[in-house]
Amino acid sequence: MSNNHQEAYKELIKRSREVHLIGSCASVLHWDEQTNMPPAGSEYRAEQSAYLAGLAHSKAVDPKIGELLDVLEKSPYMNDEYSDEAVNTREIRHEYDKEVKIPQELVEEITRVTTISQAVWIEARKENDFKKFLPHLEKVIKLNLQVAEHLGYKKEPYDALLDNYEPGATTESTGKVFDGFRSELVDLVKAIGESSKKPNMAIIEQNYPVDRQKLFGQSASAAIGYSFQAGRLDISAHPFTTGLGPKDTRITTRYNPNHLGQAFFGTMHESGHGIYDQGLDEAHHGTPRGDSVSLGIHESQSRMWENLVGRGKAFWKHFFPRAQQMFPENLSNVSLDDFYFAINDVRPSLIRVEADEVTYNLHILLRFEMERSFLRGEVAAKDIPEAWNEKFKSYFGITPPTDADGCMQDIHWPAGYIGYFPTYTLGNLYAAQFFAKAKDDIRYLEDQFAVGNFSELFQWLRSNIHVHGKKYRAEKLVEVVTGKPLSHKPAMDYLRQKFGELYDLK
């Protein structure tokens, strides 16, 4: 390897880490904005965030990076496509080619608009006032369309935006995976709905003191492997995870004093994200090799710990006696089987983040279709509530009573994250396929959960997924880990077996 190539690579990594450092500072501001910032601070926070976004963008599109990439792409480093040097060069090139197409003014404007939009959304959702939020949503959609036009796309604007969250994915390829999943999922939802067997939801829908909910959620989070030495748990309007550095990953949740499951499973979900971030290779921090693969793979980690582990019978064989100790007035006379059935209730519901495992994906498919519709200009922003309610009625058989429980429930649109939603269902599919492989590889895995041992799954995920960073794209990672391409079959097999038993389906 020539000294010229070595120096070029060293300089490229230095610049990558500098851009990442600025991004981590912006993440601190975002975390504070969502957890501690007073409402009146949003306008100046927008200026602070816009400044950092512009600074990061200016450094990310420096022509010197393009020159360094040109040198390295012709170097012996590229002979092994999965070497650290080749992976970092490939992924920095992918981002660089996108970033140089977007004007810095647009980057700053998006950050400014979405910071204010999120603050307005919080108030508008509380007041169920879509008209208050509408002008901000219109700006967000317009700016995302501008980004798509700058990036370019083959078939529709959604392709350009989806790639920001799931690199390499297209609307068409994602739609095909979803289509196969949808028909089988709808049949299962129908069969469950027709079952005469129903859980007693009063078990979890009663007063559960928030202070004890917090302690219980934290104990479960720590038990599965989330490190509170390198993280913390706070409250926000919408649960999220943000990595501020190699030893600082923060998660949030929200509490409902009249429902045990909402905060608990929200905490488990975000803990899964946090565990992934805490498991990335610190030696590669600030480079693609030390970054997560995609949001779909990130969601596979959160959904696995939340659902395949956290809503599993084995998990509660260990944790239910502890829940009874924590909430004796609620659970002392409840059986494990009845509790397990209640936390796995399947029925049409209004709120995505509180939906059951089976109907959850219908929430995502609805949003996927809505986003494509308004980006194509088929639905105007002002008509989103009506279009949402019509589609929701066709999917779930119920109509949201308010926009707060309908099209305004998620933070993604006010935050500008158009194209993000499909990664949740992709995450469910990845999770099921990974978990099936983990059960093949680890003998008596669920028996370990029953005695409170989650370390072998934790280490399996560390070794097979977390440590690789962006070494493999999502599609390739699934094949490397499981030996098979992504399929909806493992997810459907899991759902049919679990809910077939619960609802006595033939």
**Distance between CA atoms of residues 263 and 1, nearest Å:** 53
CA distances from 289 to 17, 74, 90, 423 (A): 12, 20, 11, 21
pLDDT surpasses 80 at 506: no
pLDDT surpasses 90 at 49: yes
DSSP 280: S
Q: Residue 445: CB partners within 8 Å, gap ≥ 6?
A: 438, 439, 456, 457
- Residue 2's pLDDT is what? 76
Please state the pTM of the whole predicted model: 0.92
**Distance between CA atoms of residues 494 and 283, nearest Å:** 37
pLDDT surpasses 90 at 240: yes
- Residue 214's pLDDT is what? 97
For residue 28, give the nearest of 47, 14, 49 by alpha carbon.
49
Q: Verify whether residue 127 is a known catalytic residue.
A: no
User: Which three-class secondary structure state does DSSP give residue 212?
Assistant: helix
Hey, what are 425's tokens? 């269902």
Hey, what are 373's tokens? 């519709």
CB count in 10 Å sphere of residue 458: 17
**Which of the four pLDDT bands, split at 50, 70 and 90, describes residue 1?**
low
- Residue 237's pLDDT is what? 86
Beta-bridge mates of residue 232 = 250
User: Which three-class secondary structure state does DSSP give residue 249?
Assistant: strand
Instruction: Give the chain's count of helices (H) and strands (E).
Output: 21, 3
- Residue 238's pLDDT is what? 84
pLDDT surpasses 70 at 359: yes
Beta-bridge mates of residue 253 = 235
| 405-451 pLDDT tens trace | 999 999 999 999 999 999 999 999 999 999 999 999 999 999 999 99
Class of residue 451 by CB neighbours under 10 A (exposed 0-12, middle 13-18, buried 19+): exposed
Q: First CA to last CA across the chain, in angstroms?
A: 64
Hey, what are 241's tokens? 């995870």
356 and 503 in contact (C-beta within 8 Å)? no
pLDDT surpasses 70 at 357: yes
DSSP for 411-475 reads: STTTTT-TT-THHHHHHHHHHHHHHHHHHHHSTTHHHHHHTT--HHHHHHHHHHTGGGTTSS-HH
CA distances from 286 to 20, 88, 243, 283, 369 (A): 5, 10, 11, 9, 34
pLDDT surpasses 70 at 78: yes
pLDDT surpasses 90 at 186: no
User: Which three-class secondary structure state does DSSP give residue 155?
Assistant: coil
**Which of the four pLDDT bands, split at 50, 70 and 90, describes residue 281?**
very high
Q: Which H or E run includes 244?
A: strand 241-245
DSSP 307: I
**Distance between CA atoms of residues 30 and 216, nearest Å:** 27
**Distance between CA atoms of residues 90 and 135, nearest Å:** 39
Rg (CA), the chain: 23
What's the full length of the chain, in residues? Answer: 506
**Which of the four pLDDT bands, split at 50, 70 and 90, describes residue 210?**
very high
pLDDT surpasses 80 at 144: yes
Q: What is the 3-state composition of the chain as percent helix, strand, coil, each rounded to the nearest 5?
A: 70, 5, 30
**Distance between CA atoms of residues 338 and 265, nearest Å:** 18
Buried b (16+ CB within 10 A) or exposed e, 85-94: bbbbbbbbbb
Hey, what are 225's tokens? 């492997």
Where is average pLDDT lowest: 129-133, 167-171, 274-278, 406-410?
167-171
**Distance between CA atoms of residues 264 and 423, nearest Å:** 22
Q: Which H or E run includes 243?
A: strand 241-245
Q: Residue 443: CB partners within 8 Å, gap ≥ 6?
A: none
Among 33, 270, 306, 371, the active-site one is: 270
- Give the mean model confidence (pLDDT) for residues 280-299: 97
Q: What is the mean pLDDT of the chain?
A: 95
- Give the mean model confidence (pLDDT) for residues 227-253: 95
CB count in 10 Å sphere of residue 439: 14
- Calculate the CA 483 to chain-centre distance: 24
Domains of the chain: 3-152 (no CATH), 171-502 (1.10.1370.30)
- Residue 154's pLDDT is what? 86
**Distance between CA atoms of residues 93 and 96, nearest Å:** 5
